[in-house]
Amino acid sequence: ASEQCGSEQGDKPTLQTLSEELNKTEGLGSVGGQACKAKRETGDEESEENWRIETGLDFIRENTMLRIDEDLYFGLDEYSKFRRDELSLLELVRTFIREVKGVRALPLGASATVLSGDDTGGNKPAWCFYPYQLKNLAQTEVIIYEVLRDFYWSVLKKERKGQFLALDSYLKDIEESSLRAITYVEYTNEKKNSTFEDREDPYLYIATHPLLLYRMVRRFAEDLQPILLELEEYEDLISDLYDKANPDLVVFPNHDDLTDALESIKRIQEGTNLNTLEFATGKMDQLQTDIHVNALHALEIGAYYFTAGHFAYAVEWMYYALNTVSQSSVIEKYPIIERFFRKSFDHLVEVHNQNWEPTSKNYWNLGVFHTKVTAPFEPKSYVLMRQIMKDEAAGLRKTLDWNWSVNVNFMHVCAGKNLQTEEERKGLKCWLQRKHNPYWSINPLKMEILNRDPPVYQIYDFIGDKLIEKMKKAAVDGLERSTVVDRNDHSRSVVDTTRTSSQVWLYDDRENGKFLLPLTYRMELLSQLTIAPPQACDAYQVASYGPSHHYAPHIDSFEDTRRAVAKGNRIVTIMGYMSHVKAGGRTGFPLLGVAAEPIKGSVVMWYNLKKNGAERDMRTWHGGCPVVFGVKWITNKWVYYNENFRNFPCGLNQDE
Ligand SMILES: O=C(O)CCC(=O)C(=O)O
Ligand SMILES: [Fe+2]
C-alpha cells in the first residue's frame, strides 16, 4: 500500500514529495502506510492529489519570507547573521524547518490562544516530569488528529485548494510516529493475548519513548497553533475540536517544553553513551524500536547540541541529518535544501575544531571528539573524548575525592559496561540463601553479590507483583518533584537538576500503610537489622522516573549529621525496583565500576557508612542512571545506625 502511495506522485518531484522524503529514514522502510490509508478511506482523492501538491508549492513560494528558489540563495542573510551570533542557529534551523513544512511562523506578539486551553502561565507543570499527564496529552493529540484529518479531507481540499501543506505534514508526522506506535502496541497486545491488566498502554508508550515524546511536544509547540490560527474562521471546526479535545483540562506544551524535550534527548544520550546513528533510528540500550527521527528533527537536535556546547554530538547529529537528506532523490530538484544542511554541518565542524584543544584542559571539555575533524568526515574514525578516557577514568576509580572520572565512570556503568578488575570480580556469584533464619529454608533468598568490598547485594523476587501494584496505587496521586539537600544550607531541601524524579512517602506505621509491614519484616530478616521502629528508619520513599529522569551520583548518608541527630546516620540502603524499565534506569556505582539492573521485584542493598557508624563510606557513591525509555519505579528504605549499633557489624552475611 505504501508503494502505491509513492507512485501516486509520479516521478515529478514536488515539495510534497520533498517533505515526504525528508520524513523518511534510511533502512526503515516506507513510513507512508498510514497516510495512504487515510487517503483511501476518503475515496476518490487520488486524482485530486496533484493540484494539491502543485498549488501548495506555489503557495509557499508566494507567501513565505524565505524563498525556496534556486536563484535566491536560501537563508543566506540569515545564515551570515548566525555566524555573528552563534546562539541563533537553533532559531535559524527552526525557521528553515517551518519553511520546508509550510508552517507559517506565528506573527510576532500573537498569543496562540485558538486552542491553548487554560493559560496557567508560570504555574504550568513542566511536562517532562509527569509521564502520566503526558499520556493524557498523547491521547488528546490523537483526538485532535482525527478531527483535523476528517476536516482536511471533507472540507478543506474543496474550498482552499492546496494551501495546507502545513496541515498535511502535521498529519503525516503524527501518522508516522504516534499512530505507528499505537498500531505496534495494539498488535503486540493482541499477539500476546494480553489480559486487561497486562495490556501495554499505547499512550504511555508514546509518553515514555524519548523520540515520540520529542516529536509530540514539537508538534504542539511548533506546528499546531499556526495551523489552527489559519483555520480560525472555520468556527464549526474549532468548536468541534474544543468539545472533543477539551483543552481546558489539558495544558498544551509550549516552546519551553520543546527545549525540555531536546534537553531530555541530550541527557539520555550523554548519560548512557548512546550511539547517535542508533539512537536516531530508535535503538536504545539493546532495544530496537521502530521509531525514528527524520532529517529535519536531526537538524534541530544537532543545533540544540551546538547551543548546549556539546560540539561532537552536534556534528554527529548534523551529519546524520545531512546524510539522510542527501539520499533523498528530490534533492536533485532542490539542491538548495541540501546546501542548507551542508552549510550548517560545515559550520559545526568549524566550531568543534575551534573548541578543540590538545591540552589537559580537555579533561574538562568532554564534549568534543578525540581529535580535530578533517574533511571528509567519516563518523567511524572519530571517538568521543570521554570514550577515549574510559580506561584512564577507570584507573581513577579508587580515588575517593570527587574528580572528573566519576562522571565518566558513571556514564559507562549506566551504559551497562562493567569496569571491575578481574581481582574485584573474583568471588562474585549468585546463590540461594537458606541460612540465618528458618523462614529462608523453605523460601530461600535469590542472592547475587555485585561487589565484595564494600558489599553490594541484589536479591531477586523480593517484593511480589501484587504488593508492588498496591504501592504504586497508594503513591501515584501523591507524587511530587524530588528534592536534594541544599548545598549552601544543609537544613534545606531544594529542587535541582541533579535529581529529576518525582516521589512520595508511604508510612507502614500509619493505618493506610499497614500493608507494607510484611515487607519491612522481610527486610529485617534479610539484613538482620532493626528496621520497623520509626526511629530506626525513614518511611518508604517511592519514586518514579520518566525518560531522562535521573539521580546524579551521591551518598545516601548525610554529610551534615545534624540532619539525623536522634537516629544516627543512614547506615544501610535497601532499594527495591517496582518496575521493569524498557531501556536505561540502572543504579550505577561509579567508584565500584558496576551497576545493578532494574529488575522488577528485586532489591539492592549496600552500606552508606563505615562499620564504626560515624564516617561516610565514600566508596558507595551511586546514582539512578537516566531512564531512556519507559517508566522506572523504585522504593527506598533507609536504615539508621543508632537502633542497630549493637547488632553491628554482624551485618550482612558475615560468613560470605
Ligand atoms: O534510582 C536509583 O536507581 C537510585 C536512587 C537513589 O540512589 C536514591 O533515591 O537515593
Ligand atoms: Fe541514593
pLDDT for 30 equals 23
Give the DSSP letter of residue 594: E
Three-state DSSP at 506 gives strand
Atom of ligand 1 nearest to the CA of 550: 1
Ligand 1 pocket mutation, candidates 551, 631, 632, criterion most atoms within 8 A of CB:
551
How much is the average pLDDT of 321-339?
Answer: 74
Cβ of 637 less than 6 Å from ligand 1: no
d(CA 472, CA 258): 29
d(CA 265, CA 588): 20
Please give the distance, rounded to the nearest whole angstrom, from the Cα atom of residue 239 to the centre of ligand 2: 49
- Return the higher-pLDDT residue of 120 and 444: 444
Cβ of 553 less than 6 Å from ligand 1: no
pLDDT for 144 equals 95
Residues 27-47: b if buried by 16+ CB within 10 A, e if exposed: eeeebbbbbbebbeeeeeeee
pLDDT for 247 equals 67
Atom of ligand 1 nearest to the CA of 632: 1
pLDDT-derived band at 92, boundaries 50, 70, 90: confident
Cβ of 634 less than 6 Å from ligand 1: yes
Class of residue 640 by CB neighbours under 10 A (exposed 0-12, middle 13-18, buried 19+): buried
Q: Where are the beta strands (DSSP E) in 150-296?
A: 283-284, 287-288
Please give the distance, rounded to the nearest whole angstrom, from the Cα atom of residue 594 to the centre of ligand 2: 15
Please give the distance, rounded to the nearest whole angstrom, from the Cα atom of residue 477 to the centre of ligand 2: 23
Please give the distance, rounded to the nearest whole angstrom, from the Cα atom of residue 587 to the centre of ligand 1: 7
Cβ of 397 less than 6 Å from ligand 1: no
pLDDT in tens, 259-284: 889 999 999 999 999 999 999 999 99
C-beta neighbour count of 388 within 10 angstroms: 15
Residue nearest ligand 1's atom 9 by CA: 636
* Cα dihedral 591, 481, 582, 207 in deg (nearest 10): -150
Give the DSSP letter of residue 532: S
Residue nearest ligand 1's atom 5 by CA: 624
214-223, 291-300, 347-356: which has the minimum mean pLDDT?
A: 347-356
d(CA 384, CA 163): 45
Please give the distance, rounded to the nearest whole angstrom, from the Cα atom of residue 291 to the centre of ligand 2: 33
* Cα dihedral 446, 450, 454, 455 in deg (nearest 10): 0
Please give the distance, rounded to the nearest whole angstrom, from the Cα atom of residue 439 to the centre of ligand 1: 29
d(CA 434, CA 448): 14
Three-state DSSP at 88 gives helix
N-terminal to C-terminal alpha carbon distance within the chain: 63
d(CA 299, CA 423): 46
The cell numbers describing 311, all together, are 560540539
Ligand 1 pocket mutation, candidates 456, 538, 573, 587, criterion most atoms within 8 A of CB:
587
Residues 561-597: b if buried by 16+ CB within 10 A, e if exposed: eeebeebbbbbbbbbbbbbebbbbbbbbbbbbbbbbe
Mention every residue, 6+ apart, whose C-beta is less than 8 A from residue 399.
405
d(CA 66, CA 50): 24
Best CA proximity match to 101, nearest among 144, 68, 142, 134 = 68
pLDDT in tens, 138-187: 999 999 999 999 998 887 767 665 557 788 889 989 999 999 999 999 99
d(CA 586, CA 627): 8
Ligand number with the minimum distance to the CA of 588: 1
Q: What is the ipTM of this complex?
A: 0.99
pLDDT for 124 equals 45
Residue nearest ligand 1's atom 4 by CA: 624
Ligand number with the minimum distance to the CA of 538: 1
How much is the average pLDDT of 287-305?
Answer: 94
Cβ of 579 less than 6 Å from ligand 1: no
CATH fold of 429-640 reads Jelly Rolls (2.60.120)
Whether 309 contacts 367, CB under 8 Å: yes
Cβ of 608 less than 6 Å from ligand 1: no
Average pLDDT score over the chain: 80
Q: Where are the domains of the chain?
A: 1-64+102-116+125-253, 429-640
Please give the distance, rounded to the nearest whole angstrom, from the Cα atom of residue 457 to the centre of ligand 2: 15
Class of residue 370 by CB neighbours under 10 A (exposed 0-12, middle 13-18, buried 19+): middle
Residue nearest ligand 1's atom 7 by CA: 623
Best CA proximity match to 222, nearest among 91, 125, 133 = 91
* Helices 295-307/311-326 angle, 10° precision: 160
pLDDT-derived band at 2, boundaries 50, 70, 90: very low
Greatest mean pLDDT among 21-35, 465-479, 563-577: 465-479
